[in-house]
Amino acid sequence: MKEDIAHLRKEMDTLRTEFRELKQTHLDVNRRYSESLITLRGLTLHATESAEKAASAAEHSANCSERCLVAAAKAASTHVTEAAEAAAAAASAAAQSAMESAASAASAAAAVAMAVAHHAEDASAQGSAVAADASKNAASFAAKAVMLSNKAAEFARSARNHTG
């Protein structure tokens, strides 16, 4: 009987030790999970902000292309070929910038989508929607910048043809 009780106590001590270890493991996993959630929230926030800034940069590039188009048109109408070509080159550079901004916005939107995939949370889902919208806007501005750049190049060609 004493041996049975001693054996049961030994078993009970083993179970207590295992339970303590399991509890500590659970606390460690929970702490790491919480830290991961905080990190994902931060990444989502930064990626969303990045997408919005990229869309804004693409919009500025499109506006620059529009101004370059006006400059190229004026230069072409007054037969200032070099100015028309410079304006067309500036419009082309602005269009390239807009396309890179659109790519950056798309990349940020993808990063947010990955965060949402790993952590389904309202803030992440909202960030993903904002980033996707910013990416769409950036692509639209990039397309506008390319179109304006092409028109500016047409004015430069026209000016060259009239002076050549």
Q: Using 50, 70 and 90 to split pLDDT, how confident is the model at 11?
A: very high
> Environment class of residue 63 by beta-carbon count within 10 Å: exposed (0-12), middle (13-18) or buried (19+)?
middle
Confidence at residue 24, expressed as pLDDT on a 0 to 100 scale: 95
* Residue 100 DSSP SS3: helix
Confidence at residue 82, expressed as pLDDT on a 0 to 100 scale: 78
Output the pTM of the full model. 0.59
Distances 87 to 31, 58, 83, 98 between C-alpha atoms, Å = 57, 18, 6, 16
Highest mean pLDDT (candidates 19-23, 51-55, 104-108, 118-122): 19-23
Q: Using 50, 70 and 90 to split pLDDT, how confident is the model at 38?
A: confident
Is 81 within 8 Å of 13 (Cβ atoms)?
Answer: no
